[in-house]
Structure 1
Amino acid sequence: MKATVRTQLSQSLNLTPQLLQSIRLLQLTAPQLEMELRQALDRNPMLELDEGEETGETEAEGHEAAADEAAMEAAAWDELPEPAFLSGMNGGVTLGDDDATARIVDGESTDFRVRLLKELELSWRRADLAVAAFWLDHTSDFGLLEASRAELEAVGMASLGLPARELEIVRQRLLNGDWPGLCAQDAGECLGAQLDRLPADPVQALARQIVREHMALLARHDARALAAVLGCAHADAEAAIALILSLNVCPVPESSQGTDGHVVPDVVVRKLGGAWRVSLNGRTLPKVRVSPHCEAGLSGARGDVGTLRGLLDEARWLVRGIAMRNDTLLRTTQVLVERQQAFLEHGEEAIAPLTLREVADAIGMHESTVSRITTGKYIQTPRGTFELKRLFAVRLEGAEVSGAAVKAMVKRLIEAEPPHAPLADETIAGLLARQGIRIARRTVAKYRDQLDIAPARARQRPRVAASA
């Protein structure tokens, strides 16, 4: 065997504990951050409550000094060169294509697609997971497909390069999996998948036939008509209807992450003097600082004080990390408020298209940073308290408005329609076209389903005769 020497060039980036802590602080919600700070106060004697002034709302002007100091002394996550470096590189070979910071332990996602894919990773092949992700990306929040199966199969064949049969096999696995009814074409298929999981008996068989062939009669709760077309007793038809009503029309389970039933806003925005002012809500969080007495005592201490110095460094990094988190949250929210002033003043129909990339470019950070700082964070506005994610909106294809704004327009038109002459989906599409918004009838139907509004035929009410 002959020994050889070879020169090899490689690039790598090691995430220090301080940088990992800074990234993790980004992801914490207000209750989680409060718990984190209280635990830090209990275990680290170098930290103390800052009771110098009453903790309240912190505006941008008073926050800049602390944020600038933190940015100079800490490793800023937004200055990382490229996401590829975070995935680990060895000898020019990428070990993974995911963002390494995304592997930091965090709470359960509120997006059911993320939760389900994480469960499927334990037992599904990578190729099947890619197909499952495609179907889930085209599934509404109610668990049904956003377009017809044929249309989505055509899209999947073009984007994934797979035959329709393989795409349908994966959809059937999702449809009849742990969340039965998911990725169904319609409510009938969704309910049918749930019925197939129940023990076979005469009532189950009748219910299966109803959801497969007589959904219109089921929608009217017409037990007599169902009994007539099924050729069964009236009591059996009612029992089948009761069984169907016990099913979940939305196959997406709720997140198991506990909630105390109320929302703590992280940011407060109000209009003062004709301008929108953004401030952090510090009323619910303990304000911590490094103890000046301990810091002064250690500055001239001699002997074995390594442990105490380690606690002091940990306290400094925590305080700086919180300052960086708050600065990022404040700057991100300021951009969101500036871009969505029309929404704050006029409502849903005025919400503008806005993406993570646009906000990231505005504050000079990466999209993943904006995603982390807005997930689970809430903003209090004159229009109510809601998640920051709501201020992002996808641009409607071929238009200068967002899909959320068009959905609000559809809702307004339906609410203003005459009860005896409800607007059909085609009519609504025509009314929107007059305003320069051209969308297909099926898009109107999709928004109507997301708003949980029945079709025009089911909304029709008889005209009330005028009294003499």
Structure 2
Amino acid sequence: MKGNMRTAMVQGVNLTPQLLQSIRLLQLTAPQLEQELRQALERNPLLEQDEAAEEAEADEAPEAAMLEAAAWDELPEPAFLSGGSIGGGDDDATLRIADGESSDPRLRLLRLLSLHWDARDLDIAAWWLDRCDDRGYLEQPLDELLAAARAAFPTRADDVGVLRQRLLHGDWPGMAAADPGECLRAQLHALPEDATRGLALRLLAEHLDLLAAHDHAAMAAATGAGADAVRAALGMILGLRPHPVQAPVADDHGHVVPDVVAWRGGGAWRVALNRRGAPQLRIAAHCERALAGSDHAALRGLLDEARWLVRGVAMRNDTLLRTAQVLVERQRDFLDQGPEAILPLTLREVADAIGVHESTVSRIVSGKYIQTPRGTFELKRLFAVRLEGAQIAGTAVKAMVRRLIDAEPAAAPLADDVIAGLLARQGVRIARRTVAKYRDQLAIGPARARQRLAPRQARQEYV
């Protein structure tokens, strides 16, 4: 067996312990940072708490700190570090801000389906999901949608109905159901088959009126089942979800601790870090002097660890403050006037403004909150996606939709196409479907559900 040697150039990233610690500190929220620092105080005897509020945080070896900051800016995206692929060069990097799980049920379900569905089937599934409201029900009659789906996918006309059935009986039973009855039946079919499930299906299919009236005796007489069996079937039905969409798992943080505070003073917006709670650490001066010429490996290791921590915290706070300053400066109209004044803003724009990589901005804003006169909210709320073909943010358009609906006449609510027309007069051109999507995201019903009688008309009908 003959051996040979060859040379090759491979691009990689050397993740030193210091760099990994800096990245981890960058992503910590205010409560997490406080816990981290208090644990470090207990673990490392060379650290001490700086009691002087006016004293700046330790600033050691600025050149090394700048090199370390440059090193983490050269890191690839988090997906690459975890073995995934790097996304394309999209202009809107806001979507890469970490956020546990999307609030859009369509995106969550498509991500789940992508694990075991074929790509061609996913296209049709996405088409059906786009025709569902935020509860998971079809927005138009089923026969009309089937005809439209066959026209949209002529080569797979026979498959569109089958794929809707796969959605209906898939990971979220009842998704893309035509009505609540179909949704509940799909959920029942997902349960183990037994006599109780069979009776529940009969009640839903044949005796929905008795079920709505909660007439146990009539249901028992109509089905020939005993009272206990009827009660068990009713319990199974009542245990089903009223709609198929499954809410994302909510993180229970208890209360929000803002990482940054913004206020208006002297005619300008000002920003400061919220240092309440988290201790300010420094290396004990007498310990550092004592170890100046020491070669004790354990103590030198503790000293290096303390230096890395102090430097990493300083870099994290500096990056967070500069990011918040840019966000507040760019979105001052939003803070002054409200959601309709929010401007399109991406990670790339903020990263260019403070001289770091987009991934650094994504990490530093993830899970961080800012306290403002308008309330306390996540920093990433100050980012906004540009509405396609316009110089306005989609978030601002959503706020305009809410304003128009809030001001509509009680007896004559505005239809989605009317709202789209009113926005077009203001220079914002969006489709009726987009208005309906924004209205669903705002938890506002359609025009027919919002219609209320005027006071005089209500009194006349009462008389």
Query: Normalised by the shorter chain, which TM-score bucket?
Result: 0.7 to 0.9
- 1:43 Cα shift? 1.1
Residue aligning to 1:23 = 23
User: Structure 1 residue 266 and structure 2 residue 254: aligned?
Assistant: no
Indicate which of 344, 351, 356 corresponds to 1:365.
356
What residue number does 1:451 align with? 442
- Asked if 1:338 is matched to 2:337, the reply is no
Which residue, 339, 359, 365 being the options, matches 1:374?
365
Residue equivalent to 2:413? 422
Gaps of 5+ in 2: 88-97, 215-221, 224-229
Aligned match of 1:52: 52
**3-state DSSP of counterpart to 1:276:** strand
Percent of aligned pairs with the same amino acid: 55
User: Which residue does the alignment assign to 1:74?
Assistant: 68
Give the equivalent residue in structure 1 for 2:94.
Answer: none
Q: Which runs of 5+ in 1 are unaligned?
A: 56-61, 89-94, 100-106, 212-216, 225-231
| CA distance in structure 1 between the aligned counterparts of 2:167 and 2:362, rounded to whole angstroms | 27
Q: CA deviation at 1:396?
A: 1.2
Task: Give the CA RMSD over aligned residues.
Answer: 4.7
Evaluate the alpha carbon distance shift between residue 126 and residue 316 of structure 1 in structure 2; reply closer, same or farther with a 3 A threshold.
Answer: farther
1:465 maps to which residue? 456
The equivalences for 1:63-462 within 5 A come to: 71-72=65-66, 74-80=68-74, 97-98=85-86, 109-111=100-102, 124=115, 131=122, 135=126, 142=134, 144=136, 176-177=169-170, 179-181=172-174, 184=176, 188=180, 193-198=186-191, 200-207=197-204, 243=237, 247-249=241-243, 251-255=245-249, 257-260=251-254, 262-302=255-295, 305-462=296-453
Distance of 2:160 and 2:359 partners within structure 1: 30
Q: Is the 8 A contact 2:260 2:369 kept in 1?
A: yes
C-alpha separation between the residues in 2 aligned to 1:47 and 1:12? Answer: 34
Please state whether the residue corresponding to 1:76 is helix, strand or coil.
Answer: helix
Q: Deviations over 1:255-300 (max 9, x none)?
A: 264422x100000000101100011000121111112121111113
Match for residue 214 of structure 1?
A: none
**What displacement does 1:32 show?**
1.2
Q: Distance in 2 between matches of 1:63 and 1:270?
A: 23
CA change 1:115–1:399 in 2 (3 A) is closer
Give the stretch that moved more between structures: 196-205 or 108-117.
108-117
Q: Within 2, Cα distance between the matches of 1:390 and 1:128?
A: 32
The two structures have a TM-score, normalised by structure 1, of 0.73
Q: What displacement does 1:5 show? A: 3.2
- Normalised TM-score (structure 2): 0.74
Q: Comparing 437-446 with 112-121, which one deviates more in the overlay? A: 112-121
Q: 1:267 to 1:87 in 2, by over 3 A?
A: closer
CA distance in 2, matches of 1:68, 1:129: 54
Cα displacement string for residues 181-213 of structure 1 (whole angstroms, at most 9, x for unaligned residues): 56x4777476564444356344445546899xx
Q: Equivalents in 2 of 1:141, 1:284: separation in Å?
A: 44
- The 8 Å contact of residues 57 and 280 in structure 2, kept in 1 or not, is answered as no
Shift in CA distance, 41/271, structure 1 to aligned 2, threshold 3 Å: same
Task: Please say if residues 184 and 240 of structure 2, whose CA atoms lie closer than 8 Å, have aligned partners that are also in contact.
Answer: no
Q: 1:403/1:16 Cα in 2 relative to 1: closer, same or farther (>3 Å)?
A: same
- Give the 3-state SS of the residue equivalent to 2:282 in structure 1: strand
Write out per-residue CA displacement over residues 353-372 of structure 1, whole angstroms, 9 at most, x where no aligned residue.
11122212222222222111
Relative to structure 1, the CA distance from residue 3 to residue 74 in structure 2 (aligned partners, 3 Å threshold; closer, same or farther) is closer
Distance 1:164 1:5, change over 3 A: farther
User: Partners of 2:50 and 2:317 in 1: how far apart?
Assistant: 16
Q: Report the Cα distance in structure 1 between the residues aligned to 2:61 and 2:244, rounded to whole angstroms.
A: 45
Q: Secondary structure at the match of 2:440?
A: helix
1:40 match = 40
Contact 1:78 1:365 in 2 (8 A): no
Between Structure 1 and Structure 2, whose CA radius of gyration is higher? Answer: 2
Aligned partner letter, 1:288 = L
Q: Is residue 429–residue 439 contact of structure 1 (8 Å, CA) maintained in 2?
A: yes
CA–CA distance in structure 2, aligned partners of residues 63 and 380 of structure 1: 23
Contact 2:260 2:273 in 1 (8 A): yes
Q: How many residues align?
A: 420
Distance in 1 (CA, whole Å) between partners of 2:405 and 2:148 is 28
What SS class does the counterpart of residue 319 from structure 2 fall into? helix
Separation in 2, partners of 1:340, 1:131: 38
Q: 1:165 to 1:406 in 2, by over 3 A?
A: farther
Structure 1 residues 280 and 465: CA distance shift in structure 2, 3 A = same
> Is 2:264–2:270's contact at 8 Å kept on the other side of the alignment?
yes
Q: Could you say which residue in structure 1 is the equivalent of 2:2? A: 2
SS in 2 for 1:299: coil
Check whether the contact 2:187–2:240 (CA below 8 A) recurs between aligned residues.
no
